[in-house]
Amino acid sequence: MAREVLYRKIANTIEGQIASETLKIGDKLPSIRTVQKIYEVSLNTVKQAFLELESKSLIESRPKSGYYVSRSFSRRLAVPSVSTPKLSEKAYQPEDLISRVFDTLSDSSITKFSLGVADNSMVPIAKLNKSMLKVLRSMSDSGTAYEPVQGSVNLRRNISKWSFVWGGQLVEDDIVTTSGALNSIFNCLLAVTQPGDCIAIESPIYFGILQMIQSLGLKIIELPTNPITGIEIEALKKVLPKIKVCLLVSNFNNPLGSCMPDEHKKEVVRMLAARHIPLIEDDLYGDLYFGTSRPAPCKLYDEEGLVMWCGSFSKTLAPGYRVGWVAPGKFKDKIIRQKMLQTISNPPLQAEAIADFLEHGRYDHHLRTLRSKLYSNCLQYQRAVEDYFPECTKISKPQGGFVLWLELDQGIDTAALYETAIKHKISFAPGRMFTQHNQFNNCMRLNFGLKWDKQLDFDLKKLGQIVKNSL
């Protein structure tokens, strides 16, 4: 049996014992040499298994004592409630609140739990620079010419090859490159809607998507959403006669962190296809999973070409490169025509650099490291929230991505709380930003993609105290 398979087998066995509480918080694990004898493997294989468990904060090393089950694995707080948006309530987008949050982004003295990107320390800047220099030297025009309207052939080929990890059978001609995932979604909306059309979305949902939909004059129906499994299927079924299109963040929704089970994805695709309703799928976070395999997007179950699969490298690799894509199915020609009118082409250097990064295996290695750091951070944040926030706090349990959703006491207004937190040089995203209705006022989103250290732990403790003081 391959060494990699062996170390994962050992790690999975111990993780299962921790999950079933056969091994409890604080229990000492068998020594590395004992595990070596049990499994008849090398010391390095056992060490690799223990490193895997450490990266997930499931175990911790104590000098001259051994390994113990980490208290970070314990969880006392409940998950947030299923959302119940009022469909008849008048829409109102809190743009002033969004502006106040974004006004702090340039202030380096503020701890930005409000951001929606991973810390710079998690970005492989040196390797990206190496790819950038390589393509700059190899391109005959040094990246000064237009690339094809559909996008870089190299990048489209590598994106289609990468889709193999979730079972996709895409080819380079199925892909159109864009300036990030939001640009993909915008083009999809233009392709399949007219002002006045009705669109179904999750609730809560990323505020940038809400603002974009409203700017196009579309009517929004926010659907009840479970913090674990995503939209409520029955709620979607009821609004099917009213809607022209559906937009979902299928894997690790921002801000809830929910991930639709495969059977839900199949049912959603089936229901929409029966009425010829397009599905715009934002799969921006799909590669940031904490489990053993990447969750498939709804696109896997698309037989009619109605699922428009959108993604980008903004959350996994390089936010500032603005490199995204869409596999638009039967709407490809419309998307290409729209891109021709809007931008003609994307900057070729960034596209070719990322294509080179993917082609030589660096992306897969980077993602493994990034996922490990994010999962460890997620557990650290959950532990800190349990230790420092009021006991009535509810906290999401994401299985990927890098945001946590907190539901606080009903008497707390996080928009007002934000003003207090900013005075203490801490920012977060108030829940009211993620809906068109007057709801989620007692909720907040925290980014756990920041680099974990003692200062970050202290700032979470300070934020928890601010919440307690507001009760």
- Core vs surface per residue 232-260: b (16+ CB within 10 A) or e: bbebbeeeeeebbbbbbbbbbbbbbbbbb
146-361 maps to which CATH number?
Answer: 3.40.640.10
pLDDT of residue 90: 61
**CATH architecture under which domain 95-122+364-470 falls:** Alpha-Beta Complex (3.90)
Span 41-86, pLDDT tens digits: 998 899 888 888 876 778 877 766 788 887 655 566 788 988 888 7
Mean predicted lDDT score pLDDT of the chain: 90
Percentage, residues of the chain above pLDDT 70: 96
Place of tokens 């399949």: 192
In this prediction, residue 158 carries a pLDDT of 94
pLDDT tens for each residue of 253-291: 999 999 999 999 999 999 999 999 999 999 999 999 987
Percent of the chain with pLDDT over 90: 63
Eight-state DSSP code of residue 277: -
Res. 91 pLDDT band, cuts 50 70 90: low
The rounded Cα 245 to chain-centroid distance in angstroms is 22
Look at residue 1 in the predicted model and tell me its pLDDT.
Answer: 44
Strands 443-447 and 429-430, how do they pair?
antiparallel
pLDDT at 302: 96
DSSP 150-187: T--HHHHHHHHHHGGGGT----GGG-EEESSHHHHHHH
In angstroms, the Cα distances linking 209 to 181, 212, 437 are 10, 5, 14
CA dist., res. 310 & res. 328, Å (int): 8
CA angle centred on 282, ends 333 and 431, rounded to 5°: 140
Specify the pLDDT at position 3: 47
Q: What does the pLDDT look like over 137-149, one tens digit per residue?
A: 988 888 788 888 9
pLDDT of residue 93: 64
Q: Which of 13-17, 327-331, 431-435, 455-459 has the lowest mean pLDDT?
A: 13-17
The residues pairing with 293 across neighbouring beta strands, listed in sequence order, are: none
Binning pLDDT at 50, 70 and 90, where does residue 180 land? very high
Greater model confidence, 345 or 288: 288
CA 250 – CA 254 distance, rounded (Å): 10
Tell me the per-residue pLDDT of 382-437, one tens digit each, with 9 for 90 and over: 989 999 999 999 999 898 999 999 999 999 999 999 999 999 999 999 999 999 99
| CA–CA distance, 29 with 465 (Å, rounded to integer) | 35
- How far apart CA 227 and CA 207 sit, in angstroms, is 17
Least confident window among 142-156, 195-209, 312-326, 388-402: 142-156
How far is 471 from 469, CA to CA, in rounded Å? Answer: 6
In this prediction the pTM is 0.84
What whole-number distance in Å separates Cα of residue 471 and Cα of residue 461? 16
Comparing 70-74, 175-179, 191-195, the range with the smallest average pLDDT is 70-74
Which sequence spans correspond to the domains of the chain?
3-73, 95-122+364-470, 146-361
Tell which CATH classification among 1.10.10.10, 3.10.150.10, 3.40.50.280, 3.30.1440.10 matches the domain 3-73. Answer: 1.10.10.10
